[in-house]
Chain A
Amino acid sequence: MKVRDIIDILKCQVLNEGALDEEVKTACGSDMMSDVLAFVKDQSVLLTGLMNPQVVRTAEMMDMHCIIFVRGKKIHEDVVALAKQKDITVLATPYRMFTACGLLFSNGLRGGCDIQ
């Protein structure tokens, strides 16, 4: 799917618009950036409920191009400003983590793990 499709599927608000027509195949959902840095490989979308600038830095290091903040949380402008600087798309969905991941999975996005 394209990043643009995620906006519709998860009823997202777009906080920073990067490359919306980019094709994405895999995603990961985590509130622990340590785990994202340790276990993620080649996933281009990050779903998280954690809201600090280190989410953007983690996505940057991992070459992820799209961050989705779940549970309709209010995102601090510092976070959005950093994402803008790094050219990373930032979306906010009202869905909770489990539902957001489930909706994306049922629409074809995968986790990219070996056991799938």
Chain B
Amino acid sequence: MSMLHLHYDVPGDDFTRAGEASGDVKHKLKRLGYEPDAIRRVAIAMYEGEINMVIHAGGGEATVDIDPDKVDILLQDHGPGIADVSKAMQAGWSTAPDNVRSLGFGAGMGLPNMKKYTDLMEIQSVVGEGTTVHMVVNPGQKGS
């Protein structure tokens, strides 16, 4: 059992709300006294994931388990899935439509950025079924 278990529904139909869950996690980590660097790494990685779920998958769910030595983030969606995960991990590679770029996203930096800011990142994706992204941030490790 983790110290704090959080669950969020990430709505897929409202772009303006993308980031609400990440903002809430950031706020809670701050209140719990985590170091600023770890808080920022969690916030950025989870926010990128949230944006991805809204842009590509029609929303999803986020589950966050907070412990003193680790923040565990699980993002699950039932979107179209990623056909080639290794390609999607390349910086600059994006399938986002133009309307997403006009919103300031879709530069192909989301997944590489999530990997950069976390200590562990795993993607499981099945085309037609959905994608699960598991990320771990260990406070005191890595540094952005």
Q: Do A and B come from one complex?
A: yes
- A31 CA to B106 CA in the complex, in Å? 12
In whole angstroms, how far apart are the Cα atoms of A86 and B24 in the complex? 11
A22-65: contact bitstring with B at CB < 8 Å (1 yes, 0 no)?
00000000011111011001000000101011110110111100
* CB closest residue in chain A, given B105: A34
Contact check, A35 vs B23: say whether CB atoms are below 8 A apart: no
Interface size classification for chain B: 20 to 34
Establish whether residues A38 and B104, one from each chain, have CB atoms under 8 Å apart when the complex forms. Answer: no
Q: A33: which of B40, B91, B104 is its contact (CB, 8 Å)? A: B104
Please report whether the interface of chain A is mostly helix, strand, loop or mixed according to DSSP: helix
Encoded as 1 (CB less than 8 Å from any A CB) or 0, chain B from 21 to 52 comes to 01100100000000010001001100110010
Q: Cβ of A32 and Cβ of B107 under 8 Å apart?
A: yes
A23 vs B109: C-alpha distance when bound (angstroms): 30
Q: Which residues of B contact A (CB under 8 A)?
A: 15-16, 18-19, 22-23, 26, 36, 40, 43-44, 47-48, 51, 91, 103-110, 112-113, 116, 144
Q: Hey, which bits of chain A sit against chain B, CB under 8 A?
A: 31-35, 37-38, 41, 48, 50, 52-55, 57-58, 60-63, 78, 86
